Amino acid sequence: MVPSIFSRRSAPEPEVTEASSTSTHPTTLVGQARTAWRTRLEETIAADSKNLPTLSLTEAHPGGLAQLFTEHPVRLSLLIREPIA
């Protein structure tokens, strides 16, 4: 499985060789930059996710839920059919 930014598992760390033990080696610099970038990305995602709207599906229409659970594309109007919902 290919790791992505959406997965919770982090990518496996590369094996450290003797050549990468110096702080100016390109492999070390790239690794440090990646670690710093990933930390900033995780902080940004955590901060942004607090402000996102949420949708409750507790009163969703059963027909729309069936399509949603089978991982088919579902329009919002199929989940919430009643005008007062």
> According to the model, what pLDDT value does residue 55 have?
78
What single string gives the DSSP state of each residue in 29-72? HHHHHHHHHHHHHHHHHHHHHTT------TT--HHHHHHHHTT-
Report whether 79 contacts 57 (CB < 8 A). yes
Give Cα separations from 77 to 65, 74, 82 (angstroms): 11, 8, 9
**pLDDT tens-digit series, residues 5-56:** 555 656 666 666 655 455 678 788 898 999 999 999 888 887 777 777 777 8
Q: Is the pTM of this model over 0.75?
A: no
Higher pLDDT, 10 or 2: 10
**CA atoms lying within 13 Å on the CB side of residue 1:** 9
